[in-house]
């Protein structure tokens, strides 16, 4: 089932995750990394679709293409997180953070980092 906040199909998302993890990947490397991988040709077609959509690019490396993302992982993550916050938390980053904190146990270091960010946000707003 595809989430309304995700512009990728399940397979496209899996492929993007592989390429983000590896930084660069060939069709064969993507096939090897995918759970219950479809055929080589199917993966090659999906990679081509992701290139056409502008999410990936490729360079020739001898007889094969090596694929890489067009958007840094941090930027893509912020974009995806923004869609989730808008769709599920009424656009409120604070509500999203509270939901995450309620469902997980952050470390002391993470709590300190969050506290510092909150203090910085309060200074900006004052």
Q: How far apart are CA 34 and CA 38, in angstroms?
A: 8
* Domain assignment of residue 125, given as a range: 91-126
Contact 108, 95 (CB under 8 A): no
Summarised one tens digit per residue, pLDDT across range 46-74 is 999 999 999 999 999 999 999 999 998 88
Indicate the burial class of 97 (C-beta count within 10 angstroms; 0-12, 13-18, 19 or more).
middle
SS3 at position 65 = strand
Q: What angle do CA 90, 15, 30 make, to 5 degrees?
A: 160
pTM value is 0.68
49/101 same-domain check: no
106/69 same-domain check: no
60/44 same-domain check: yes
Tell me the CATH number at 20: 1.10.10.10
51/65 same-domain check: yes
């Amino acid at each position: 089932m595809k989430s309304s906040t995700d512009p990728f199909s399940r397979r496209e998302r899996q492929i993007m995750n592989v390429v983000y993890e590896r930084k660069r990947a060939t069709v064969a490397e993507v096939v090897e990394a995918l759970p219950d991988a479809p055929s080589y040709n199917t993966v090659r077609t999906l990679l081509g679709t992701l290139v056409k959509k502008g999410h990936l690019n490729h360079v020739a490396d001898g007889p094969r293409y090596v694929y890489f993302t067009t958007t840094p992982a941090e930027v893509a993550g912020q974009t995806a997180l923004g869609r989730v916050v808008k769709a599920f938390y009424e656009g409120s980053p604070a509500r999203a953070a509270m939901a995450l904190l309620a469902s997980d146990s952050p470390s002391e270091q993470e709590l300190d980092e969050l506290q510092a960010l909150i203090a910085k946000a309060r200074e900006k707003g004052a």
